[in-house]
Amino acid sequence: LALTKSFIGYFADKPYITVLTTHFDHATVGEHIVNLQVRGLSGADFDRLYREIAHANRRERIEIIAKYTDYRLMQIDRLDQVPREALNIAKMLGVYPEIIDDAKRYLA
């Protein structure tokens, strides 16, 4: 996170457009900085998605999730709008529940 914020700080006052991608929350705060994110699974039909995944192997699950993912970008005005889809996707891929539960502790 420190290095990411340093890159952002360095490029923030330069006379060119810079595009940085990261999974870090709260990395980009400041004047003249626009936060965009992939729409992800926000508009997905989760009942249908879970039905498709129920009998799929790991490779098929990845393909199904990709099919339901909306890769269009949307502007985020408030940092509390950042979604937490990684845990949902991890569950869909079959990550052990104890790992998911432990990850939730870090988000609290």
Per residue in 25-73, pLDDT (tens digit) is: 777 777 788 888 888 998 899 999 999 999 999 899 999 999 999 999 9
Burial of 69 (0-12, 13-18, 19+ CB in 10 A): middle
Q: Are residues 46 and 96 in the same domain?
A: yes
Q: Are residues 46 and 26 in the same domain?
A: no
Q: Are residues 106 and 60 in the same domain?
A: yes
Q: Are residues 14 and 58 in the same domain?
A: no
Q: Are residues 104 and 55 in the same domain?
A: yes
Range of the domain at 101: 34-108
Residue 42 phi/psi, 5-degree rounding, is: -60, -30
**What is the pLDDT at residue 101?**
92
Q: Are residues 40 and 27 in the same domain?
A: no
Q: Are residues 89 and 44 in the same domain?
A: yes
Residue 72 phi/psi, 5-degree rounding, is: -70, 150
Contacts 24+ apart (CB under 8 A), 90-98: 92/49, 92/50, 92/53, 92/61, 92/65, 93/58, 93/61, 93/62, 93/65, 94/58, 94/61
